[in-house]
Amino acid sequence: MAKRALCIGINNYPGTGSDLAGCVNDAKDWAALLKAKGFQVTTLLDSKSTLKGMRDAIEGIVSSAKSGDTIIVQYSGHGSYIPDVDGDEPDGTDECLCPYDVDRNGPLSDDELFDIYDSRVRGSKIIMISDSCHSGSVTKFAPIVTPPTMAGRSAPQRKVRFLPPEVFLSSRDMAKLGTARRALHRSSTPGRYASLLLAGCQDYEYSYDAYFNGRPNGAFSFVALRALKKVPSTATYRDWFKKIRAVLPSQQYPQTPNLFGSTRQRKWRALA
């Protein structure tokens, strides 16, 4: 039984004015952990994480899986939403991930991810770990200054990992959104039940780019990696998730992590 992982981290978003700081560190931290757990790991960082690069890498790792194999796809970067074209979303939008070249080539939607994951060989396990915002409003958030976590006067900045769709959608597609009153309720998240999804927030919330002891990380990734050290090696994803939820949401990081999958998937042994 093989164990393979793909870790994607994007800080640099050319042409958007919305760069992040902790996503590459997230991907490197997840990669180090997964290697220690016996996974064969591939990383895509910044300019390597184009739409084509992400799609090809995810398709490649999923198609390589045989029955009994475990596949992890980890993503840290911006999330957003686009108009739903097939009517499967109650709020009329599809959640999406934002590649390095999103301003030129667009996002990777949850429908595309579902199709890729659903093509897996039956008996293989697909787990997606996503530290991004899967949805939000069209309001542009200003950076929120956090208390200093390093010496000196300059406090690091906490940013939401949400890219407003007007940054990369055409005016015609923006007109299709009609998102001024976008419903704050759950819709399907990237990967749906074709994979088990461990996400940094609910699909109507924001995941935060944060600093811990002077080092940038996603708040969710930082907490999830620490929580994993506090559960036994036999822990399930549900056990691990409970430890994460003991810390998030917090006053400073008001994001509610999500474990999205079937009862059977939640009982899988974590990262096994």
19 alpha carbon, distance to own chain's centre: 16
7 is catalytic: no
78, 96, 98, 134: which is the annotated catalytic residue?
78
Asked whether the bond before 90 is cis by omega within 30 degrees of 0, the reply is no
201 is catalytic: no
Please tell me whether residue 135 adopts helix, strand or coil conformation: coil
171 and 234 Cβ atoms separated by less than 8 Å: no
**Strands of the sheet with 3-9, listed across from one edge:** 40-45, 3-9, 70-76, 125-131, 196-199, 258-260
7, 23, 96, 133: which is the annotated catalytic residue?
133
Q: What is the CA angle 267-270-272, rounded to 5?
A: 110
Residues 6+ apart with CB under 8 A from 61: 4, 5, 6, 42, 71, 73
69 and 127 Cβ atoms separated by less than 8 Å: no
Residue 3: closest CA among 84, 80, 64: 64
53 and 204 Cβ atoms separated by less than 8 Å: no
128 and 54 Cβ atoms separated by less than 8 Å: no
Helices and strands, counts by H and E, the chain:
8, 13
Q: Which residues are part of the catalytic machinery?
A: 78, 133
